[in-house]
Amino acid sequence: ALAGAAALGACVGFFQIQAGAVVPRALDPIGFDQPPRWPGYGWAVGHMHRGDVVLTNGYYPTRSVPGYGANLVAPAWPDASLDEDVRNRRLAAVRTYLDPESTRAERAAIVRRYDVRWLLLSRDQRVPSEAVVVGWSPRTGEVLARVGGPASAGGPASAGGPAGPDGPKGALRDGSTPTNAPLIG
């Protein structure tokens, strides 16, 4: 009897604490606290290829976008494979790029240095004149813009042939097509 009471108590305690994560909102008669719903980035990563470099400083994208296979200029957390001085320089480069007072030459140097292909900007950040907006999130107002890469680097895909200025969807900068591209779609 004591074991049954202990098991019942454990179940009630678990349900009381975790109910918001277990019970869907539509079936929630009481109004349990629900875990926060992070925004999805499928709208953005559908344009990216595995290994593309993204420059962003938003809380959610720095923690979500790498899960889709893209790389960040500066990682969200300290990384054992990246010296802390290097990480701090990368964070400073992101701040410099996103600073409204930065010049086009400063931004271009950062794009070249880190091989940046995409900007993921919050609704209050301005899109630089050299960037091309390719998508935005109606939920968060974030903007995805293309920089660097074949369209502006003068590579073979920038000739604007029948496949378009960026080459065929899924093509790498050298013209080859990896088996795992694009990330979504």
* 83-134 pLDDT, tens digit each: 999 999 999 999 999 999 999 999 999 999 999 999 999 999 999 999 999 9
C-alpha span between 149 and 141 (Å, rounded): 24
Query: What is the chain's Cα-based Rg?
Result: 22
Q: Are residues 31 and 77 in the same domain?
A: no
Q: Are residues 66 and 152 in the same domain?
A: yes
For the whole prediction, is pTM greater than 0.75? no
Quick: pLDDT tens for 64-86. Answer: 999 999 999 998 888 888 899 99
Beta carbons of 131 and 68 less than 8 angstroms apart:
no
Could you tell me the two tokens for 5? Answer: 């009471």
Cα 21 versus chain centre, distance: 24
The domain of 20 spans 1-35
- 19: burial class by Cβ within 10 Å (0-12, 13-18, 19+)? middle
Q: Are residues 23 and 49 in the same domain?
A: no
